[in-house]
Structure 1
Amino acid sequence: MTTLISTRQRTRLLGATALGSALLIAAGGGTAWAQGTASGGPAVEELVVTALKRSTVLQDTPIAISAVTGETLAKMGVDNIGDYAKAVPGLTLVDGGPGARRVVIRGIQGAGEAQVGIYYDETPVGGSPGTTSDSGARSPDLKLFDVQQVEVLRGPQGTLYGSGSMGGTVRVIFRKPGYENEGAFEGNVFSTNGGGMGYEANAMVNLPLVEDKLAARAVVFYREVDGYVDNNVLGLKNLNDETTWAGRLLVRYEPTENLTIDAAAFVQRTDAVAQSVSVKSGDYVSTSRAQLPLYDDYNIYSLTARWDLGWAALTGVTSKYSRSQLQTSDVSNFIGNFRNNPGLCASRNGGVPCGPAEFATFNAYVNTHTPSTLHQPQDVDTWTNELRLSSTAEGPLNWTVGLFSEDRDAFIVSQQQGVDPVTGIAYSPARISTVRTIDDSLKQTAAFGEGSYEITDKLTLTAGARYFKYEKKIVGQTFVGLDLIGARVTPPTTVSSKEDGWVFKFNASYDVNDDIMVYAQASEGFRPGGANQVIGLPGALTPYDSDSLVNYELGAKTAWWSNRLTLNFDVYQIDWDNMQVSGRTANGAFSFISNAGAARVKGAEIEAVLNPMQGLQLQANANFSDAKLVEDQVNPDVNAPGRKGDRIPFIPKVTTGLAAQYTWPLTDGLDGLARLDANYVGTSYSEFRPTNAFRQKVSSYTLANVRVGVEAKDWGAYVYVNNITDELAYVTKNQSAISAGTINGVTVRPRTVGVTFNKKF
């Protein structure tokens, strides 16, 4: 058995919690300085969350958690996770375009398995590991409509949510079927500056089938968007278009008062074109020599049963999640750079140095493999199960215990194939340069428990633990080799890795008065290790270990002026050990994962909601983060490793979000609405080392969206402008050996103007 943190760290963890508990107890002498009355707007809405796998009031939940209601998501015009990230402190994306987004919380960012758990209702969903064992870079992004709320748990959630929740957990909770006839429709038409038109239609119908026993809720979604990126090599305009359709069916059956059974099916289909741009070639311009289509298809099926035993609730969940995805990338310039390579030419010339005639022959050979793309279809199927028992009886003790299992299988094909130099479209029949396949399986089991006890009516202590065990197996095979990149034909080769261990959580909370709660927490997070299929390295297949972290946190949740203002804040330190980091083979052709170094993230978060007067609500959030290495990344397998003091890539020091919404009566039954959302993202960098030749600066940016409209009880009409200032904002930039001198980037969509109409039935 492996223990994920050292004895020294465990002592520090316990010590920090004890110190925090002492501080909380000492706070009992404070006065009720948040209490009082004031004239003005209504109290801030009280939200119930299920983050602890039982229902609690948001302001009474002693962890760093943000919740955004479905109503607020609609007012913001949210379409996906990137849209609501601005409303949550510390939540950012490393955005590689559709199907290639990494979700980051509190600066915990790196290659490998996901570091943020993504849940749709009770189902955890993830990405394919691909050829780089980097499933975290392909976080699912399901469209959001008819959502009850989104909950974001910041900091490691290793005890209740397990692996993949090192940085935190995002939970999207859909509205469930009810026993009344209900329907809704939403239509959206918009135009993007420098691009084309977009259209979106959403609909929902809720039908009671058997009175108070059986009901169904169906949702459909369709979105078609013209692009805004032009390719000046192939002469294409607005090439990064996207078409997505989705459907969701939920059925609720309540055979008795104490038993609820929910069945759900969710499908989504996306066809799009990769949207990266060439930074040095002009605004929103691509110099790719190939068209880069992608598709991303999801299927989620789940069955959840909840049985109220009176003294506890028994919940069983089984889910089947599958995802089929095509990723393509242009490798034309990378292959083309092998022209006139003396070493490769001599190798093909029997070891004899090349003269002009031999170079001409060699270059002609290189030309047969370019222009070309990496064409990588990949499928992942995951079956998860969870059985848990949670206390429901009143009393000082609250607890949850459970069992969890996951069985994930992925199959990836990676082939280099030629494209027509005029159209950029892949030849048919395909002209293949290399082909390799990867079978990747991950099996996890866990037992977990968490309990809290009210020592007094003010002081509550919580402890949690999770025992985990995983095994990962990789089978790799190369069918067609290419000597230019060192790809050799290899038979099926298998490597596996496995590990087990424990993670823990300790929390102490103290109610200073009815309006102020302070808490201290120490918690652990982890994610599995695994194995790479790496061509060109000795052994070809290379295992790597799990990495883990410990989070120390102090926070407060406060309410002021009769709950017209809620103000929550926390400070934290995260120690991250045995980091999983990405490296490349010496020729730059293949990426892999290894372990090296340690990091520390120190930060502070704040979020506030204020209702100063009737109809006006103001919201603000901010995250201040210092995420750096505290140990050199010394590993002979990793090129250009980071050194102590280097910043973690793509992590800004400051992010902020502001929102203001005002509603006012126009006539009886008709209101006006105006809303402003703005966010600031600070500067970050693409690599650890300032001296790394590939390091790119991702400059800070500020974005603002505005929406105005009229709304009645059952309908609303709005005009909106996103990215009001039409800022050219890069969310990521990167350069590597594969890009062969080109700096690629992904941008925020330029100024977009649209109209939305919704109707409830």
Structure 2
Amino acid sequence: MTRKSIRRLLTRTMLAAGAVPLLLPSAAWAQDATAGEIIVTARKRSENLQKVPEQVTVFTADKIENANITNLRGFVDLTPNLIVRETFRSNETFLTMRGISSAQGALPPVAFIVDGVQLGSNDFINQDLMDIQQIEVLRGPQGTLYGQGAIAGAIVVTTKAPGDELEGMIKGTYGNANSYRIAGAVSAPLVKDALYARVSGFYRHTDGLIRSAADGRAVPAYQVYKPGDRINPDKQANVRGQLEYRGDALKVSLRGSYTDGDGSCCFLDIVPLNAAGQINASLIDDVKNPGFRGDLVGTEKTIFRDGSLKIDYDFGPVSLASITGYAEVRQHDFGDGDYTPAAVVAQDLRFDSDVFNQEIRLTSNGKAPFQWIAGGFYQDRQDRQRLIVGAENVTRPQGGVPSGSVLNQNNVTNRHAWALFGQATYDLTEKLTALVGLRYDEDRQNNQNTLATVNTLAKAKFHSLQPKAQLSYKWADGFMTYATYSTGFRSGGFTQTTQFKNETSRNYELGFKGSFLDNMLFVNASAFYIDYRNQQLSFVIATPTAFRRGAVNIPKTNINGFELEVQARPTRQLSITAALGLSDTDVREVAALDPALGDVSGAVGNHSPLVSNFTFNLGANYTAPISDDMDLVFNGDFRRQGGFYFDLQNTLKTRTGDYVNGRIALRTANWTLALWGKNLTDTRRATRVSETGNRLRTPNSPRSYGVEASYNF
């Protein structure tokens, strides 16, 4: 059997996985938990998911396993009104939630919290997911509890804690493009009923899924490659350790992790032009034509370290929590700078960050009508960027600094941020509950920008008061409606040549949550309106003689949206999910923006860049028993994602795309064998197109598939 026929067989098998659950008869209980069984902690206390008056999508450990979620994209693609875009660097991605997107050089629009520690930038969040207990995605501003990074929402990741018994797992995966991943974890009590430990880690490798369209053999000083060769190889190793003490009132958790990665960089290509020398908008998504045509394969070296100490003490009426976290990332990228077969320009980039966080909070205990939480937060952070763009030196080894530099810039920003916050709920009646919250954030920044021999010093203070008010009403057991007013804040900052302002948002939301048919059907929905001020928009200017990155603010944008999530369990072994997200953005005011962006005077009434107007998801999971101790588990997910514009003028747009993932697993109590596939329809789209100059684009990931084996003990 040929490689092509094997790929065709695997694709058809995985596509069938999504349909099989609808055809099989009733049998055993499916592993995915229902919404009514899930406990969430995203509001910094344990609550039943269906009793939380927020729109929250939850991925339990079973769902993570069944859907083969191994990274950020894995769960983002299953969440309404949330999209992720790859960039030209392996370890950086951008998120868009409810019409609010990421700007390069700015904070993400979504707070990303791992085991209680808030990570600080896009460079921290795109890591492999390993040994995860639960992922919670809250949509809507979460400024009261999470501050300036939560203008659109929050993502809360909880890793698996050490257990009371010796246990562990080992898993191996192999897929196309010579992709493989080996992962394992072991947990054990060190001192009975007191001290516990858990260690986990993984190693992964791939030759890369994106191929070259050019011939690099003419430039012998660089990696030799020919048309069709893979140009985005990637490998990464990670180890994480946890030590936890559990006493009667005191709990102490110490965690640390280390990641070492060698990835790829700068695999962009230039969108074709028509006979008149203008961009051919109809070919934006034709990422295979012409494809990557650079004369060298870029590289990315990444080191990531983090650690945290969490101390919880139960005083009876209240609990005290102290969370201390430190994280650092070191990234060095080198690659082609002109993205043509000619040896003209190379680029050398460094992105380094160090972040220290400290949070202390008090939380009321019990089930009294009045419950509250109050605390303080401090962050000390330094971001360092170096960018060198210059003529390629064909005599140096790959990875050296470009010679004859046309741009040599260092940018260092020191940030000192602090916040005070509080939130309280009160049961006005047995059915009516009121919530009020307030947070003050302050972020002081000092920036030093060195461009050639010019040294520029700047400082700024960004601050905001973020109130929240909510009423929720329980009409009956399992049915609740709520109305929320909340605010969001994202700090401003500095780019290579500009300072941009902070963003604010005012969010008005009406929603309901309901369970029906004896908890066989759950329906959650909300409608929202966002008054969005000073939207941050980044841009890249790329021409044969100049390269510049910057950011501007769009004074006013309105966002109208709707979300619907449905989970049904028609039989004990079958679970079906569906979700719809709508986000209609409307630019209401533009000011005198950067001249490099061109004429934006006609942008009033346009859609915001990088925002899909809709997402639709449909998924199914079915567990079919083969014997008393063996099951066959089918999981399939379909996603339709609306297109979005890349520019404020709304001239460059990617099309709507359909994506299918599937997994079939043979499972016993201890071992699992599985076939899996992602983007099985091989839908190809551009995820980024630069605003002016040479229209550089980044392609999405093509189809991948493979086999997996795991053993639990």
Is the pair's TM-score, using the shorter chain for normalization, greater than 0.5? Answer: yes
1:147-158 map, 5 Å: 147-158=132-143
> What CA RMSD, in Å, does the superposition of the two structures yield over aligned residues?
2.4
Size of the aligned set, in residue pairs, is 651
Please point out which of 643, 663, 670 is paired with 2:623.
663
Per-residue CA distance 1:163-210 (angstroms, 9 max, x = gap): 01111111111011122101111110111xxxx211111100001100
Distance change in 2, residues 1:428/1:517 (3 Å) = closer
Question: Given residue 120 of structure 1, which amino acid in structure 2 is its aligned partner?
Answer: V
Partners of 2:394 and 2:527 lie apart in 1 by 54
Q: Which residue of 2 aligns with 1:106?
A: 98
1:10-409 map, 5 Å: 44=34, 46-97=37-88, 98-111=90-103, 112-127=106-121, 136=122, 138=123, 140-191=125-176, 196-231=177-212, 232-234=214-216, 235-236=225-226, 237-254=229-246, 256-274=247-265, 275-278=267-270, 280=272, 282=288, 285-328=291-334, 330-332=336-338, 371-409=344-382
Three-state SS of the structure 2 residue aligned to 1:163 is: helix
Three-state SS of the structure 1 residue aligned to 2:101 is: coil
User: Does the 8 Å CA contact 1:162/1:526 hold for their aligned counterparts?
Assistant: yes
Shift of 1:578: 2.1
Partners of 1:208 and 1:469 lie apart in 2 by 42
Three-state SS of the structure 2 residue aligned to 1:84 is: helix
Partners of 1:279 and 1:405 lie apart in 2 by 44
Three-state SS of the structure 1 residue aligned to 2:709 is: strand
Per-residue CA distance 1:447-482 (angstroms, 9 max, x = gap): 000000000010000000001211011012234xxx
Residues 1:748 and 2:708 are matched in the alignment: no
Shift of 1:736: 4.2
Question: Given residue 461 of structure 2, which amino acid in structure 1 is its aligned partner?
Answer: K
Question: Given residue 240 of structure 2, which amino acid in structure 1 is its aligned partner?
Answer: R
Shift of 1:110: 4.4
Partners of 1:731 and 1:49 lie apart in 2 by 35
Shift of 1:564: 1.1
Q: Which residue of 2 aligns with 1:608?
A: 566
Question: Given residue 436 of structure 1, which amino acid in structure 2 is its aligned partner?
Answer: Q
Partners of 2:307 and 2:690 lie apart in 1 by 39
Question: Given residue 174 of structure 1, which amino acid in structure 2 is its aligned partner?
Answer: T
Q: Which residue of 1 aligns with 2:677?
A: 721
Question: Given residue 524 of structure 1, which amino acid in structure 2 is its aligned partner?
Answer: T
Three-state SS of the structure 1 residue aligned to 2:129 is: coil
Three-state SS of the structure 2 residue aligned to 1:257 is: coil
Distance change in 2, residues 1:657/1:731 (3 Å) = farther
Question: Given residue 259 of structure 1, which amino acid in structure 2 is its aligned partner?
Answer: L
Q: Which residue of 2 aligns with 1:679?
A: 639
Please point out which of 423, 434, 452 is paired with 1:450.
423
Partners of 2:165 and 2:196 lie apart in 1 by 9
Q: Which residue of 1 aligns with 2:551?
A: 593
Partners of 2:268 and 2:154 lie apart in 1 by 28
Shift of 1:722: 2.4
Partners of 1:733 and 1:406 lie apart in 2 by 31
Residues 1:632 and 2:638 are matched in the alignment: no
Shift of 1:632: 2.5
After the TM superposition, which of the residue ranges 269-278 and 602-611 deviates more from structure 2?
269-278
Distance change in 2, residues 1:582/1:117 (3 Å) = same
Distance change in 2, residues 1:592/1:283 (3 Å) = closer
Partners of 1:713 and 1:333 lie apart in 2 by 51
Residues 1:757 and 2:712 are matched in the alignment: no
Three-state SS of the structure 2 residue aligned to 1:73 is: helix
Shift of 1:372: 2.1
TM-score normalised to the size of structure 1?
Answer: 0.82
Partners of 1:620 and 1:87 lie apart in 2 by 9
Partners of 1:426 and 1:40 lie apart in 2 by 56
Q: Which residue of 1 aligns with 2:19?
A: none
Partners of 1:458 and 1:638 lie apart in 2 by 56
User: Does the 8 Å CA contact 1:278/1:745 hold for their aligned counterparts?
Assistant: no
User: Does the 8 Å CA contact 2:542/2:692 hold for their aligned counterparts?
Assistant: no
Partners of 2:500 and 2:389 lie apart in 1 by 27
Three-state SS of the structure 2 residue aligned to 1:687 is: coil
Residues 1:709 and 2:665 are matched in the alignment: yes
Partners of 2:581 and 2:232 lie apart in 1 by 32
Distance change in 2, residues 1:72/1:283 (3 Å) = farther
Distance change in 2, residues 1:82/1:584 (3 Å) = closer
Shift of 1:653: 1.2
Shift of 1:100: 2.2
Per-residue CA distance 1:51-77 (angstroms, 9 max, x = gap): 111111100001111111121111111
Q: Which residue of 1 aligns with 2:7?
A: none
TM-score normalised to the size of structure 2?
Answer: 0.87
Partners of 1:60 and 1:377 lie apart in 2 by 45
Instruction: Select the structure of larger CA radius of gyration.
Output: 1
Distance change in 2, residues 1:423/1:660 (3 Å) = farther
Question: Given residue 94 of structure 1, which amino acid in structure 2 is its aligned partner?
Answer: R
Three-state SS of the structure 2 residue aligned to 1:285 is: coil
Partners of 1:631 and 1:732 lie apart in 2 by 26
Shift of 1:228: 2.6
Distance change in 2, residues 1:664/1:384 (3 Å) = same
Please point out which of 554, 577, 580 is paired with 2:533.
577
Shift of 1:634: 3.3
List alignment gaps of at least 5 residues for structure 1. Answer: 1-38, 128-135, 337-366, 480-488, 535-541
Partners of 1:223 and 1:40 lie apart in 2 by 34
Identical amino acids, percent of aligned pairs:
25
User: Does the 8 Å CA contact 1:696/1:733 hold for their aligned counterparts?
Assistant: no
Three-state SS of the structure 1 residue aligned to 2:561 is: strand
Q: Which residue of 1 aligns with 2:9?
A: none
Please point out which of 488, 491, 498 is paired with 1:528.
491
Shift of 1:331: 2.6
Partners of 2:366 and 2:660 lie apart in 1 by 47
Residues 1:553 and 2:509 are matched in the alignment: yes
List alignment gaps of at least 5 residues for structure 2. Answer: 1-26, 217-224, 273-286
Q: Which residue of 2 aligns with 1:617?
A: 575
Shift of 1:290: 3.1
Partners of 1:743 and 1:550 lie apart in 2 by 34
User: Does the 8 Å CA contact 2:635/2:662 hold for their aligned counterparts?
Assistant: yes
Per-residue CA distance 1:337-385 (angstroms, 9 max, x = gap): xxxxxxxxxxxxxxxxxxxxxxxxxxxxxx9xx6222211121100000
Q: Which residue of 2 aligns with 1:513?
A: 476
Please point out which of 445, 459, 467 is paired with 2:440.
467
Partners of 1:284 and 1:308 lie apart in 2 by 62
User: Does the 8 Å CA contact 1:291/1:425 hold for their aligned counterparts?
Assistant: no
